[in-house]
Amino acid sequence: GAGVSQTPSNKVTEKGKYVELRCDPISGHTALYWYRQSLGQGPEFLIYFQGTGAADDSGLPNDRFFAVRPEGSVSTLKIQRTERGDSAVYLCASSLTAGSNSGANVLTFGAGSRLTVL
Amino acid sequence: QKEVEQNSGPLSVPEGAIASLNCTYSDRVSQSFFWYRQYSGKSPELIMSIYSNGDKEDGRFTAQLNKASQYVSLLIRDSQPSDSATYLCAVKSGAGSYQLTFGKGTKLSVIP
């Protein structure tokens, strides 16, 4: 697609519920990233995919968070047993490549999924 | 712990003035530096990237990098009300790195 698409744009759920957030990156971008942005803060790294594999999931806060990218394109961030502290905007980004100092490495962000846990 | 520090502001400047936004970072091996603009309720949008010491100009925007001082800045000339947004500084470590570390952002208000 022309840009990074994220769905849903807004999700309200109750504490303890399971949530899935979807990201469709720019066509041809091999690198995909998930970030989380809380109010008044900068985005915080969660996980990075190169192709189908999670190259770095060191930013995931705990084992309730999991992400997949089975075919190397669309990714889903899954949150189990949601807590009020999970409320934030979840941003997905993609880039053509990763790890080099070039324009191909520049991240383009989606509009985000705002998660509210009541 | 890699840290990126920015003055949270708000920074208010009159229309037509130069806005100066500053950022310091803790990781000495950082090699890539980015400025993102984020309007309220919107996603971050890249406006400048810089990789080498010195200045890089793009239209009304100039990014300045001083690796010895671990300092990067963004100048916005002839500021417009439409420049009012939060500006996020982001830093990436060595050439093989892919993880961006963001500052909290500086909120800029351009007063007509």
Whether the CB of B7 is below 8 Å from some CB of chain A: the reply is no
Q: How many CA atoms lie within 13 A of B69 on its CB side?
A: 11
Q: What is the pLDDT of residues A11-24, one digit of tens each?
A: 999 999 999 999 99
Confirm if B64 and B79 have CB atoms less than 8 A apart: no
pLDDT band of A51, cuts 50, 70, 90: confident
Query: B46, A108: Cβ pair inside 8 Å?
Result: yes
Q: Is B16 helix (H, G, I), strand (E, B) or coil?
A: coil
A59 at B interface, C-beta within 8 A: yes
pLDDT of residue B13: 97
Shortest CA gap A64–chain B (Å) = 21
What CA–CA distance (Å, rounded) separates A22 from A6?
6
Mean pLDDT, all residues of chain B: 93
- Given a cut of 60, whether residue B44 has pLDDT beyond it is yes
Predicted local distance difference test score (pLDDT) of residue B82: 97
**Chain B residues within an 8 Å CB radius of A41:** 104
For residue B85, list chain A residues with Cβ-Cβ distance below 8 A.
none
Please indicate whether residue B99 or residue A100 has the higher confidence score (pLDDT).
B99
Q: pLDDT over 90 for what percent of chain A?
A: 77
Nearest to A45 among B32, B42, B99 (CB): B99
Residue of B nearest to A39 (CA): B104
- SS3 annotation, chain A: CCCCEEECCEEEECCCCCEEEEEECCCCCCEEEEEEECCCCCCEEEEEEECCEEEECCCCCCCCEEEECCCCCCEEEEECCCCHHHCEEEEEEEECCCCCCCHHHCCEECCCEEEEEC
**B99·A56 Cβ contact <8 A:** yes
pLDDT, one tens digit per residue, over B77-109 is 999 999 999 999 999 876 667 788 999 999 999
- Whether B51 and chain A come into contact, CB under 8 Å, resolves to yes
Whether residue A107 and residue B42 make contact (CB cut-off 8 A), yes or no, is: no
What's the length of chain A?
118
Q: What is the b/e burial string over A96-107, where b = at least 16 CB atoms within 10 angstroms of the residue's CB?
A: eebbeeeeebeb
- Measure A44 CA to nearest chain B CA, in Å: 7
What's the pLDDT score for residue A54? 86
